[in-house]
Amino acid sequence: QVKLVESGGGLVQAGASLRLSCSTSESSDGHYAMGWFRQVPGREREFVAAISWNAGNTYYADSLKGRFTISRDKSKLTMYLQMNSLKPEDTAVYYCAEALIGRIVGAKIASEYDYWGQGTQVTVSS
């Protein structure tokens, strides 16, 4: 059984930073790769970043590279998303996702992930 729980979202002003966390379960039979997606009402779920669990290789949406940083702590079974210089267009619900072995590492398509958290709201005011 895999359970993903996001935390760290909130309301901030443009230019601020937030650090999102995603905890997974020790009983997971995967941890092959994990990622972050975000979604605005009325829009498709958008890829943000991904990371391979063992090696820590990272993958980013082109528009976010350099401003967002993904990382993970294997001992804590936790993945992070450091978001800097936040902009109003970053406002969305951010979702944590996990892909089991057999999936494409760093996939930008939501269907390539097997488990999802319930999301955490990030709101950036101008």
pLDDT band at residue 1 under the 50/70/90 scheme: low
pLDDT in tens, 15-51: 999 999 999 987 556 668 999 999 999 999 999 999 9
Greater pLDDT, 83 or 30: 83
- Mean pLDDT, residues 76-98 taken together: 97
Mean pLDDT for all residues in the chain: 93
Confidence (pLDDT) at 28: 53
- Please report, for residues 28, 104, 117, the alpha-carbon distance to residue 101 in angstroms, rounded to integers and kept in the order given: 11, 8, 18
Phi-psi region at 86: left, alpha or beta (left = phi > 0; alpha = psi -120 to 50): beta
